[in-house]
A and B are shown apart, each in its own frame.
Chain A
């Protein structure tokens, strides 16, 4: 199962502890240290995610995968919460679905997402989540911020209008490529992913031009130059066999 989190040392070791828990009423077994998300996926229980990507570390940043745990008043991100013996998890109450719909809405409205003219139209996980959760209009106020584009790199560009701050690019660059080119600057509405502390991407001394960031971007924020509207398909490429898009599982 590719969904297992990497730092998962307990798995298969001598004296491995097995926990039992309930997810949406199903009895599930889990290895010590396994996340709720990983156990749910193993048991065919779909929890929508956005910033999670199999093969990268989890940050619990987007809150799309929040679940209810009996006995706790707080909602808990399934991707960063490890299982505890006897846990009783609910993944899709009306309230949770409503929160997820609001998250999709906030992701759309925080920047300027215009699907019809986007390189990722029909290849976009944000668009997919909206459809999956039945988000067909927005009720929160529109912001329409002035947001820039960095097209200084010869092969790739980033359009911050379409970035949802999932930080997959930051993580893949650090954890898989080892280049640490991408980082995060600012906070709140002013938060941006940046290359080399804000150096234009084309002048980055650390970027290896490997394209992994483009490959893992869930939207059209990171794209290959020369691709027109709806041409930004990111089918799994041979050089990233261990990174699979959530879509493959979510739509099953």
Chain B
């Protein structure tokens, strides 16, 4: 029997949720026995593969690149998990939303700069007008708030999902 295919994706977040994922410590071995990790910032695969069973998405949708990625991920994933506060509410990245993109970039790249003030236009993807929660852009199956969600909660949720159960996310909450 083939193992369920698990992926994790990192959009506009601080990687703290992935750090919490690593905090599962020795349970990562249990997880590796239960599922194949087919794509993640933690493994060396460049392209998001098709036919993924469960994907944890960390981070808000803030740039054209995030938007492109999340649409692809949604298309190729059975169960999409909004993983952590940035994915669920846009959290810290959303601090820029009341300010607007142009004043933000001007402040960061022109006003406060002493050498070659210039707003980067190539190489880095363009910002969207606002940072958005993942479910504002694509359908989401499971919400796992927390900044970050605890390793225990992640383990419990992922095990439920790879074993085909509706996860019990009791105890998940914003912040912390």
Question: Is B98 in contact with A136, judged by CB distance below 8 angstroms?
Answer: no
Shortest distance from the beta carbon of A82 to any chain B beta carbon, whole Å: 35
Query: Which residue of B98, B169, B171, B174 contacts A146 across the interface (Cβ within 8 Å)?
Result: B98
B130 and chain A: residue at smallest CB distance? A144
**B136 near A142: Cβ-Cβ < 8 Å:** yes
A112–B92 touching, CB < 8 Å:
no
CB-CB under 8 A from A147, the residues of chain B are 98
Q: Is the CB of A136 within 8 A of B143?
A: yes
**Which of B82, B136, B173 is in CB contact (< 8 Å) with A130?**
B173
Q: How far is the CB of A193 from chain B (nearest CB, A)?
A: 19
B145:A116 contact, CB within 8 angstroms: no
CB A167 to nearest CB in B, in angstroms, measures: 23
Main SS class of interface, B? loop
B92–A136 contact, CB under 8 A?
Answer: no
Question: Is A114 in the interface zone, CB < 8 Å from B?
Answer: yes
Q: What interface size band does chain B fall in?
A: 20 to 34
Contacts of A108 in B (CB 8 A): 89
Question: Please, how many angstroms separate the alpha-carbon atoms of A130 and B171 in the complex?
Answer: 11
18 more contacts with CB within 8 A, not counting A112-B94, A136-B144, A136-B173, are A108-B89, A113-B174, A114-B92, A114-B95, A115-B174, A116-B176, A117-B92, A121-B176, A122-B175, A127-B173, A131-B173, A137-B82, A137-B88, A137-B140, A142-B97, A144-B97, A144-B98, A146-B98
Which positions in B face A, CB cutoff 8 Å? Answer: 82, 85, 88-92, 94-95, 97-99, 130, 132-133, 135-136, 140, 143-145, 147, 169-176
Contact B136 A136 (CB under 8 A): no
Query: CB < 8 Å: which of B97, B130, B135, B174 contacts A127?
Result: B174
| Cβ of A50 to closest chain B Cβ, rounded Å | 16
B175 contact from A112, A121, A134, Cβ within 8 A: A121
Kindly state whether residue A118 has any CB partner on chain B within 8 Å. yes
B94, A130: Cβ atoms closer than 8 Å: no
Judged by a CB distance under 8 angstroms, whether A138 is at the interface is yes
Tell me the nearest residue of chain B to A113, going by C-beta.
B174
CA distance A39 to B145 in the complex (A): 35
- The 9 tightest CB contacts between A and B, nearest first, are A115-B175, A116-B147, A144-B97, A131-B173, A137-B143, A115-B174, A146-B98, A121-B175, A136-B143
Closest residue on chain B to residue A229 by CB atoms: B175
Q: Which residue of B lies closest to A138 (CB)?
A: B89
Q: Are A116 and B92 closer than 8 Å at their CB atoms? A: yes
CB-nearest residue of chain B to A124: B175
Q: Which of A119-152 contact B (CB under 8 A)?
A: 121-122, 124, 127, 130-131, 134, 136-138, 142, 144-147
Could you give 23 example pairs across A and B, Cβ below 8 Å? A112-B94, A112-B95, A113-B174, A114-B91, A114-B92, A114-B95, A115-B147, A115-B175, A116-B85, A116-B147, A116-B174, A116-B175, A116-B176, A117-B95, A118-B175, A121-B175, A124-B175, A127-B173, A130-B173, A142-B97, A142-B132, A144-B130, A147-B98
